Amino acid sequence: MQTKLGVEFEIDFAHTLKDHPKCGKPHGHTAKIIIEVAGDVKKGDTYQDNMVMDFHEMKTTCWDVIKDLDHTNLNDMFDFPTSENIAMWIFDNLKERIPISSVKFFEGSNKYCEITK
């Protein structure tokens, strides 16, 4: 049976979207990031067999990537720091490390982008 686990993070960042009518000036956001992994639970003899992934390992691995975005001017990392590009960057930097199934990147509280496997 396929099972999903998720962890949430909150970061603050600044960016400017070149030539955008509203976001063309430097400004900041608080972003919520939800990362999900998916897999089968095998029901074996160890606790590792009975989970998709350990939550502590998942949070630590994800934060190791996400921390590079926190309190940063994202124009130093991206030509166009849109929600789509940021979410794809997170997904791409985690896909070899965890069984990632999706990244949701909320820019503020009511707008988000989701990247799925």
In the predicted model, is pLDDT for residue 103 greater than 80? yes
Pairing of strands 2-15, 72-73: parallel
Domain coverage including residue 106: 2-116
For the stretch 9-51, pLDDT in tens is 999 999 999 999 999 999 999 999 999 999 988 888 887 778 8
Compute the distance between CA of residue 84 and CA of residue 14 in angstroms, rounded to an integer: 15
Mean pLDDT computed over 101-106: 98
Mean pLDDT computed over 61-71: 98
Task: Please indicate whether residue 71 is annotated as part of the active site.
Answer: yes
Task: Please indicate whether residue 62 is annotated as part of the active site.
Answer: no
> Which is the catalytic residue, given 23, 29, 113, 114?
23
Q: How far apart are the first and last CA of the chain?
A: 18
CB 12 within 8 A of CB 70: yes
- What is the domain count for the chain? 1
Task: Name which of 43, 33, 23 is nearest 68 in CA terms.
Answer: 33
CATH code assigned at 35: 3.30.479.10
